[in-house]
A and B are shown apart, each in its own frame.
Chain A
């Protein structure tokens, strides 16, 4: 369905995307994680055909994507689209009339559940409300690929919770490829199925979320014993406090001996370790 074939995107001398190979074929909620500037937005813009790759090819359903050929099956709205200066209700009506796959009822349901005033103009909306409208217009589209770039930026905790519920409902009603980028990692961890971690323009990891539940863990205990135990394990970081050490592992689970504690890592902890990759002494 989606295939990045050795794709590079550079701006001036900066490599935003560095020779990426990435395939996505199954429907699912995919979470794209990366630090600021890792290349998340660039990846989405490339996939939607909003920008052109410096090198390599991006294929969607067997056809090459470019600004001259924007894939119809991919729905992506860049944040802060100021050209939208219409009333919320008019924007939804416009989207519904332009896009066959747009679910007007679902969009209006989201407006209601987010308590968004439909008679306000886009420019009158607060920052969080603007994000919300972009999110609604994107998610209400049942096209085969939906890209959500920071869909909860500026949302309060209640709105974010509501968004996660709606995301799941939308996906269950219309299983398709939904790619979400966010920095609120542990919140999104409750709904996503797959994980793509991008760092310095490269794909660092692509795996199922259940993999993290089982394979990302921390062993804590006396330094010598823990270091001996973890010698042959895949360590992704460690923290030493006096004579004690906590070593973070990504690999098969082990049963530690007495005196060494084992703890599951949250997705956020895991992300920080694998991207930061530094030990703190």
Chain B
């Protein structure tokens, strides 16, 4: 857990990450709030809050007597929102940092291309 964000938000993000990376697929059962609180050593109330916020957002839905499952279209929803965040906030931050460090945009593009090669 980091110190900046509220814990419930960090748990929401971890569950969301598991959805976009395919750990959980549509209609898959996610871990219970009791398991979440044990796994991350957080207050059960916080785990409940994270799951209920994801339910309100349409990412999860409740299957009676079974638990919480991944909703249809959850992955697309999360991906879209994260993309927006990346294109706006993250890129803004990168731009500011490159300016501070004196890295030019063409230089940055070259570095990114090099890095991409390393990944492949």
Contact = CB atoms under 8 A, between A and B. Distances in A.
Interface residues of B, number: 16
B120 to A, nearest CB: 34
Contacts of B44: 168, 191, 193
Contacts of B34: 172
Interface in A242-270: 253, 258, 261-264
Interface of B: 3-8, 34, 37, 41-46, 49, 96
Interface string A167-195: 01000100000000000000001111100
A210 interface: yes
A190 B6 contact: no
Contact of A213 (B41, B46, B96): B46
A208 interface: yes
B7 A264 contact: yes
B43 A191 contact: yes
A264 B42 CA distance: 14
A166 to B, nearest CB: 14
A190 B5 CA distance: 17
Interface residues of A, number: 18
Q: Which 8 A-B pairs have the closest CB atoms?
A: A214-B6, A213-B6, A263-B3, A193-B45, A210-B49, A213-B7, A190-B43, A210-B45
Contacts of B42: 190
A253 B43 contact: no
Interface in A223-281: 253, 258, 261-264
21 contacts: A172-B34, A190-B37, A190-B42, A191-B43, A193-B43, A209-B43, A209-B45, A210-B8, A210-B45, A210-B49, A213-B6, A213-B7, A213-B8, A213-B43, A213-B46, A213-B49, A214-B8, A261-B4, A263-B4, A264-B3, A264-B4
A26 B7 CA distance: 24
Contacts of A264: 3-7
Contacts of A189: 43
A191 B45 CA distance: 8
Contacts of A193: 43-45
Nearest to A165: B38
